[in-house]
Each structure stands twice: as structure tokens, then as C-alpha cells.
Chain A
Amino acid sequence: MPVIEILGLEKTYATGLFRKQRKHALHAFTLEVYEGEVFGFLGPNGAGKTTTIKLLMGLVFPSAGSARILGLSIGDPRVHAYLGFLPEQPYFYDHLTARELLEYYAQLSGMEAKGRARRICEVLQRVGLDGSAETALRKFSKGMLQRVGLAQAILHNPRVLFLDEPMSGLDPLGRRELRLLIEELKAEGKTVFFSTHLLADAEALCDRVAVLHAGRLRGVGAVCDLIGDAGRVELVWRGRNPVAMRPLLLETHISGELVRGVVPEAAQEEAMKILRCASLPLVSLTPVRTSLEEYYLRQTQSEAPPQEVRA
């Protein structure tokens, strides 16, 4: 069962002094996210990632289309009981301490009074803030606020998490902890939908990703497919670069003694033969895999019509 169903969701902002100009922040698109998935939402600045998440949270209203979360329409207040949300650059009531803030949110989420205090301690520990529980949020650093944001998102044990750039502002250790946290959440069977600019994190964490560019969905797919075989092999040999080799090479790089060349998979045998004939010693042969970065760049830089990949 899809946990998040986006059906032709579209958002146009009225801008300008008299709200006459229209700004297409998001063109109609359709997307499904399944139970237990970690889903990465990628795209350059201004692509519409935050807009999508705000639409799903009911903070702004769609210009057209609809969306369902856990089978409930996004306008339905009941759905919020099952959601956790970390906004972009979160900001909280800064006169409260971290513990007071979480207490307030726990009450708003309708959590039982009984387990509340314990759950708050647990969550604070999980985001590494147990030492600053009694400090006013006014005195928190950016990364600490980000951690508070994470704490409040997971506080009420929600089934679906929406994290808008959860890594931003975190130190390297914090990022690692967050990766672990997301993996734990996945292990608990939660669905995590997060936007990010950090492709390495997306590659490491996500089951599937979507790439958004200028308000259009450019591609969706399972990470293992997207970063699969590129149909090329990389050969490294010692010596010179024979003339016969040149038409086959897609890329060459010579450093000192070593020559590195990439050839299409189909030309692998021929290339090896050429090297043997020229008695140049082969050092290594590896199939090239596309990184998520390459896929991302292809989707966001090409002017080609968006490519739909179904997983």
C-alpha cells in the first residue's frame, strides 16, 4: 500500500505587489512512496522540494491535484497524528527549554501523560541533546536546533517522517548519527521521506529517489537501478597509448607511466587484444558504475524531456 500518494499536485504562487504575477513553483506530478521506504527527494535550490513538503503538511494549499497520506486526504486533520515533520531551518519558541518544548509538542500530539517524560528523555538522548535539555532554545546553536527539530519529529513515534534537509547544519558526527537514526527508523518499519542536497547520503540511505528540477519531476527510481552498470569498462595499463586504441576510448587520462582509459563494454575484448599485441601490461579492468551524482546531473542539467523511470 502506498503511504504517500501524490496525484497531479501542482502549486502556483501569486507574486508581485498586486499578486498579479504567477510563479509556477511546482508543475503537476504524480509520485508514490511505499510503506517502510526511505525516499530521497533531490533537486537543486528552488526546485520545489520544500514546496512539496509544505503542501503535504497542509501549510500551503495545492493549486490543483491532491495527495493522500496513509490513505487520508492531506486536508484531514486525523492524518497529522501519524506524521513527524522537520521543517527547513527549524525555529522554535525560544523562551522554552528543549524539554519544555518537547513536553508541549507531546501534549499537542495527544500523547499519554504517563510515558511522556520518559519518552522525552529517550528522544533527547537519541539526538544527542541530553546534556542541554534544560537550556533555553534561545541559546542553542544552529545544529542544536536542527537536533531539537529531529527530536520533535520522532517524538510521538510517527509512522511517516518528512524531513526537509535534515543534514543541514549538522557536524560530521551529527550526520553520521542521523544516518544511523534513519536506518533505525527504517528498521522499525517507518517510512521516511526526506529532501537533501547531499547525494552521497541519499545514495547510502535511500531505497528510492526522485529528482526534481525547476518544479518538474525529472525522474524517479530505485537507487540500485540508477547507479547500476553504465555499460563501460575502465582499463588501466602501463606504458604508452597505442594509436589503434584511440578510436575506442571514451576518456583517457595519463599520469606518468599509467594510462587510464574508458571504453564501451562492447569494445572490451578488442581493447584487450590491442594491449596484448602491443605487449603493454594491463594493471586493472573494472566495470564503470554510474554514481547517483551522475544521474542527478543528467536529470538536472539536460534540457531533454523528463525521463520516467519506474521502479
Chain B
Amino acid sequence: MDNAESLIFVQGCWKSFPGKTRDEPVHVLEQVNLEVREGEFVCIVGPSGCGKSTLLNIIGGFLRESRGAVRVAGAAVEAPDPRRIFVFQENGVFPWLTVEENVGFGLMSRPASERAERVEHYVRMVGLTGFEKSYPRELSGGMRQRVEIARALAADAEVLYMDEPFGALDFLTRLKMRADLIRIWQAEKKTVLFVTHDIEEAVQLADRVVVMSRRPATVQETVTVDLPRPRDLDAPGYLAARDRIFAIMGMDVHGGGAGGDPL
């Protein structure tokens, strides 16, 4: 191993928001440390409202940390960057553009033929062929989410920040999207930082799963999932990793949930 800095490097990151009263800010992140190496697939899990989106938005350059160091590719994060594309938890598809215009949004600098090709490819991948000319208001919530995923993938970024991208999808579509994402990640050597509240999803996807605590949140523990892909969901290693995360989050899957806080 070399000791060059990781691609994504977060050290001692604090974040608070101004609260209702002037002298009582809301502390969201407290001393968060996180490193993601180039080409890694890392998932962040944690209870709802703990600050996962906040952390990802800081790394993405949309929010500033209150304190600490946040560096990506060796440089302090000042602003968002087209080489690192974000998939937003609240749908960020542009309602005034059609599906194909949305998917091609990040490709304006490319020649028209290449753009059309990429748009067609990713529209097909997310299963929206036939809806190219539709507007987002004519689509379901899950279809809109797939448009945003296609838009992010089509832009051919080196890094993907994904904030619960599969949250609104049905079970089968979610399985397919996970497989597609893993395939793209392996083929194109991307780095993926993926927020989810679904522990099974995290263990199926990630090289490492970062477990965050309740607010004010810090990284409670990082679980390495060293299993070959495609993953066998009955393999002992898979089950062990999953149960480990459940245990960290205070839920005993076998013992009926005694002792811990509910999620």
C-alpha cells in the first residue's frame, strides 16, 4: 500500500445548523472521519435524520463544514465539480425537460451523435425506453428516480455520490439497478459513495459499510465486506456482515430487538 492520501478524505468534520433560537445551533455532525480510496464502493448507513445527506452534501461541495478538513483528490472541496456527480435524495430531475433532455443534460459539450448514443444507452439501461419524450410530471416517482440515475451515469463522472437513489423503486427494479450499478462500477472503475438506510442493500453493494450513530452523528464503525461479486445472499460472510451492522445499530436480529433504540 502506498501512503498517498485517499481520494475522498474527511477528517474531524463538524457541522451545525443555526437553530430556532439564536444561541442554540443544531449539531448534526460531530468529529466525522471518513476515507474512500479511488475505485472503492463505500456505503453509509445510519438512522434517519442522523446527518447522512448532510455529510454527502458537504463532500459534494453543496454545504460547507463548520469545522474540519474535507478534501477530494487532494484539494479542499470548495464547490461541486462535474467530475463528481450527485444523485439527490429529493428528486433533482428538471421538470421542464423531457426524459432524454434530462439524461443528456451533462453532455452538452459532446458531439450530438455521441450524446444521442449515450442517452439512448442509459435510457435503455434504466428501463425507460419509449418514455424519451415524456416529461417528468407524466412519470411515477420511481421512474423519475431512474431518470436521475441515468443522467448521472450518462455524464461519465469519475465519482458518484448517491443519496438513497433506489429508495422509491420496487423490489425487482431495485435488484436490477443494483446489479447495473455494480457492473458499471466494475467496468468503468468509478468511485461510489452511496447513502442508504437499507442495511441489506449496503452489504450487497459495498466494499465497506460506514455505520453512523444518531445525531450528533459520528462514524460508529466501519464494516469491511470482503466478498466476491455477484454476492451470494446466503453466504456466511454476507450474513455475518449484515448481522454485525444490525448489532452496531442497536438491533439484535436474532434476539427480537431487545436493548437497542429503534431505527
| A and B are partners in one complex rather than unrelated chains | no
Interface positions of B (Cβ within 8 A of A): none
Interface positions of A (Cβ within 8 A of B): none
